[in-house]
Amino acid sequence: MPPRKIIIDTDPGQDDAVAILLALASPDEIEVLGITAVAGNVPLELTAKNARIVCELAGRTDVPVYAGCDRPLNRALITAEHVHGKTGLDGPDLPDPQMPLSDGHAVDFIIETLRAEEPGTVTLCPLGPLTNIATAFRKAPDIVDRVQGIVLMGGAYFEVGNITPTAEFNIHVDPEAADIVFKSGVQLVVMPLDVTHKALVTKPRNDAFRAIGSNVGIAVAEMTDFFERFDKEKYGSTGAPLHDPCVTAYLIRPELFTGRFVNVEIEIQSELTLGMTVADWWGVTDRSPNALFVGEVDADGFFALLTERLARL
């Protein structure tokens, strides 16, 4: 079976970086056509820089990186330096990238790629706010039916919110973009906080990253060392949730995850619950299911896969 063609849309972020590394370490299963940066965890200038830093760390300067939207569709940008540090990749001491940004806008790259590839052969993998994806869908409605699927990290239901009492960060930053994507009709797989909060980087798991001994293994361990201080204090957990790599792991080993195919809608009106992903988990409405909303992960299997693949880089 040929590898699955994907575009990674991202706002790195330490956990985004690990998700990208996992994809680049898995060429038998995943072909990364390109990486598109969006403003989110930190402003666009830094997310576009960080994506290239990660490509160079993996030794994959052949992967094109495009800069995309620098703000949400209708709102001021909210960032998360309080979690990821001022660079977005605080923790390891990584050199500035030498590889250039690819010419052109990320949205145009998404559109042109979906038009050039056979319909139903490209999966979009958003790891941050959905601004680039929604903008592409609005600019070129013809591409929507060409998308194989969208596997994204975002939202929450039983775990409620991490940036407001009811909203997860990626969705809250640009709820209007999320609304467009969730109503697009594209097959969605959603990795919400409900599952990512079960993928915790405990000390033994982080020690396993460090024990790889390579630049990649050590950098990932240092990223999660930094990243976890905020979440451990916030949640009182034994480690930090490793959110975004759940997207990549699902593409490689979907059997590690279980969920329920339900209707998910985005709250875009209420200031109290803005950006909430309202999942009809119990089927109490007549709204049609539109997303596999994932709730469980085999965490040991997930970290075994991650450690094994990172050791390949």
Distance (Å) of CA 260 to CA 4, 29, 195, 263, 286: 23, 24, 12, 10, 16
Distance (Å) of CA 280 to CA 172, 205, 265, 289: 19, 34, 9, 8
Whether the Cβ atoms of residue 157 and residue 166 lie closer than 8 Å to each other: no
Distance (Å) of CA 277 to CA 102, 113, 176: 34, 29, 12
Number of residues in the chain: 313
**Residue in the block written with tokens 């050039």:** 116
Which of 102, 86, 20 has the alpha carbon at shortest distance from 53?
20
| 3-class secondary-structure state, position 75 | coil
Whether the Cβ atoms of residue 51 and residue 35 lie closer than 8 Å to each other: yes
Based on the residue annotation, tell me whether 243 is a catalytic residue of this protein.
yes
Cα of 81 vs its chain's centroid, Å: 17
Amino acid at 64: P
Q: How far apart are CA 239 and CA 140, in angstroms?
A: 42
Amino acid at 63: V
DSSP string, 241-280: E--THHHHHHHH-GGGEEEEEE-EEE--S-SSSTT-EEE-
DSSP code, position 288: P
Q: How far apart are CA 7 and CA 288, in angstroms?
A: 27
Q: Which of 105, 172, 197, 243 is catalytic?
A: 243
| 3-class secondary-structure state, position 239 | coil
Q: Give the CA count within 13 Å in the CB-facing half-sphere of 172.
A: 22
Where in the sequence numbering do the catalytic residues fall? 243
